[in-house]
A and B are shown apart, each in its own frame.
Chain A
Amino acid sequence: MTPRDTSVLPSVLQKRSGELLDAWIAHQTSADGYRPDLMADAELRDQSRELLASASAAVSAGGLESPTHPSWQATRQLLGSIAESRATAGFAPTATATFVLSLKQPIFEALRKDVQNPERLADELWNATTLIDRLALQTMESTLEARERVIARQHEDMLELSTPVVKLWDGILALPMIGTLDSARTQVVMESLLQRIVETGAEVAIIDITGVPTVDTLVAQHLIKTVTAARLMGADCIISGIRPQIAATIVHLGVDLSEVATKSTLADAFRLALARTGHSLGRAPARERR
C-alpha cells in the first residue's frame, strides 16, 4: 500500500486544479440532480472552486494522514456553510452529498493519467475514495444540522404570522410585533391591524416594535404606510419600543419618522393613548394628562 506521505494526490490536486474543476462542473451540470432553478451556475462554480481549493490545501498540509488532522479545519467550516446554504435553497440532503461525491470521477480520471503502475494506482484510488467519502459524510451531517436550523427559523416566522392585535382599552388597539419583518407577512400583519381598526372603531393603535431585531428601510416604509392608512381611517398610531440603537440606525438611514408619534415603551405609549382618547389613569401623574 502506498504510504500516505508519498501519495501523488496532493500534487495531482494542485497541478490539475483547473481541469478538475471544469470536469467536475461538467459532471454536475449533466447529472440527474442538477437544479439550476435552485442555484445559479456562477454560484455552483464558485462553490465547487472553493471546495476543491480548500481540500487541495488540506491534503497538501498533511490532511491525508487523518480525518482529524488540523489542516481540515477550514474545509470543515466551508462544508458547513455549503450545507447550510444548500439546505436553505431547498436541495435534498442526498443531492448535497452527491455534489461532493461527484468529485470522484474527475479525480479518478486525473489519477489514471498521472499514475502508470497499476498497483500504485489502486492505492491512490483507495486514498482518494476514502477522502471523498469522508467529505461527503461530513456534508451529510452538516446538512441535517442545517435543516434543523431552517425548520426552527420557519417556526419563528409562523409566530410572526400569528402576531395578535390586542384591544388594550376602549378605543385603543395594540400590535406587539415580534421577529423579522421583511416578508410578505409584514403586509398581512399590518393589514390585520387596519382591519381591526375598522371593526372596533379604535381611535388609537399602538405598534410596538420592541421584539423586532432589525428596522431597515422596508420595515420603516411598512410602518409609515400603516400609520398613513390608519390615519385615513380615523385612527392615530403610536410606535413604541424603538430602542436607542435602532433610533440611531434609522437616523443614519435617513428615514424620517418625525410625523409619527413615538414612545420608548409600550406603557408610555398606552398612557399617551389614554390621554388622547380622553381616558386617564387614576394614578397617572398630572403632567401625563392633556
Chain B
Amino acid sequence: MSVLKNDLMPVRTANDIVVVRQHVRALAIELGFSLVDQTKMVTAASELARNTLAHGGGGTARIEVVAANARRGLKMTFEDRGKGIADLELAMRDGYSTGGGLGLGLSGTRRLMNEFELQSKPGEGTRVSATRWK
C-alpha cells in the first residue's frame, strides 16, 4: 500500500471534529467516491473523531489517500493517549457504551468502511484506523 497524501490534524475540540469531517468529505469528492460512499466515510470520521475526543481525551487524526492493487482509497487513523479500552470485543458490540451513547460508533463504523482495525491498551491509549476503497 502506498500513501499519496497524508494529513495530520488535531482532535482536541468539537470544532476539530467538524474540520476533520470537512477534510474527509473534500478528499472523498476529489477521489470520485459516490455520494453514498462520501456520506459513509464522513460519518465514520465523525464517529471515530468523537470517540477520540470524548473517550480518549483528545488526540490526532491522520487522513491518508492510499493506493494498492490499482485501487485508491481513503484511510483514516485516530490516535489518542487516553485511558484505552480494556475489552475490545465488548467495545465493538452493538449497543455497548460507557458514556450513555447509543454504543454504535465503533461497530457502525466497521460496517460503513471496508477495513477496520482497533488497537488499544488500558492506560496507554487507543488507535483506530478504517479504510474505504474506491
Contacts and interface: CB of A to CB of B under 8 A. Distances in A.
Interface residues of B, number: 37
Contacts of A255: 102, 104, 108
Interface string B15-27: 1111101000100
Given A47-B8, A252-B111, A244 B36 contact: yes
Interface string B92-122: 0010000001101101100110000000000
B50 interface: yes
Contact of A249 (B13, B18, B43): B43
Nearest to B94: A254
A25 B53 CA distance: 25
Task: Name which of A50, A215, A253 has the most chain B CB atoms within 10 A of its CB.
Answer: A253
Contacts of B126: none
Main secondary structure on chain A at its contact with chain B?
helix
Contact of B108 (A81, A157, A182, A254): A254
B90 interface: no
A88 B111 contact: no
B108 A88 contact: no
B46 A254 contact: no
Contacts of A157: 15
A195 to B, nearest CB: 23
Contact of A245 (B12, B18, B35): B35
A43 interface: yes
A47 B9 CA distance: 10
A218 interface: yes
Given A89-B12, A214-B46, 12 more contacts: A40-B58, A46-B60, A81-B7, A84-B19, A85-B9, A213-B42, A216-B50, A217-B105, A218-B50, A245-B35, A248-B39, A252-B111
Interface of A: 38-40, 42-43, 46-47, 50, 81, 84-85, 88-89, 150, 153-154, 157, 180, 182-184, 213-218, 220-221, 244-246, 248-249, 252-255
12 contacts: A43-B60, A88-B10, A182-B14, A182-B18, A182-B46, A213-B42, A216-B43, A216-B105, A217-B104, A248-B39, A254-B94, A255-B102
